[in-house]
């Protein structure tokens, strides 16, 4: 948006959107924006009961953040069998005292 305004002669500095993600067991949670202080939480897609959703957080009628929850492994594959493309799975190696 900042580039378009600058090209149209309405200079405006670029303002990056805060982003954080976390893998929580079998879920990946992504947050864009600033949800702190929101007075509304609206599920825009999916459902809380399915634990797969996109939700909007807002304050005084203005969206301040988007929250997304999705499976952290590809559908149909058990979590223990998944590894990112290009990585090799390694066997656990025990130390001499029996610890993993």
Q: What ranges do the domains of the chain cover?
A: 17-74
Kindly provide the residue ranges of all beta strands, DSSP E only, lying in 60-100, ordered along the sequence: 62-71
The rounded distance, in Å, linking the Cα atoms of 18 and 23 is 18
Which helix (H) or strand (E) segment holds residue 87: the answer is none
pLDDT of residue 92: 47
pLDDT of residue 13: 80
- May I ask the CATH class of domain 17-74? alpha beta
Does residue 95 register a pLDDT over 60? no
**Bridge partners for 43 per DSSP:** 55
Does residue 68 register a pLDDT over 90? yes
The percentage of the chain sitting over the pLDDT mark of 70, rounded to a whole number, equals 71
Does residue 61 register a pLDDT over 50? yes
Does residue 4 register a pLDDT over 60? yes
The rounded distance, in Å, linking the Cα atoms of 55 and 13 is 28
């Amino acid at each position: 948006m900042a580039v378009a305004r600058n090209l149209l002669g309405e200079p405006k500095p670029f303002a990056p959107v805060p982003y954080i993600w976390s893998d929580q067991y079998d879920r990946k949670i992504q947050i864009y924006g600033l949800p702190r202080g929101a007075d509304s939480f609206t599920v825009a897609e999916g459902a809380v009961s399915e634990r797969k959703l996109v939700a909007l957080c807002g304050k005084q009628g203005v969206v301040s953040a988007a929250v997304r929850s999705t499976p952290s492994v590809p559908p149909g594959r058990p979590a223990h069998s998944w590894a990112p493309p290009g990585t090799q799975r390694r066997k656990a190696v025990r130390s001499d005292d029996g610890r993993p």
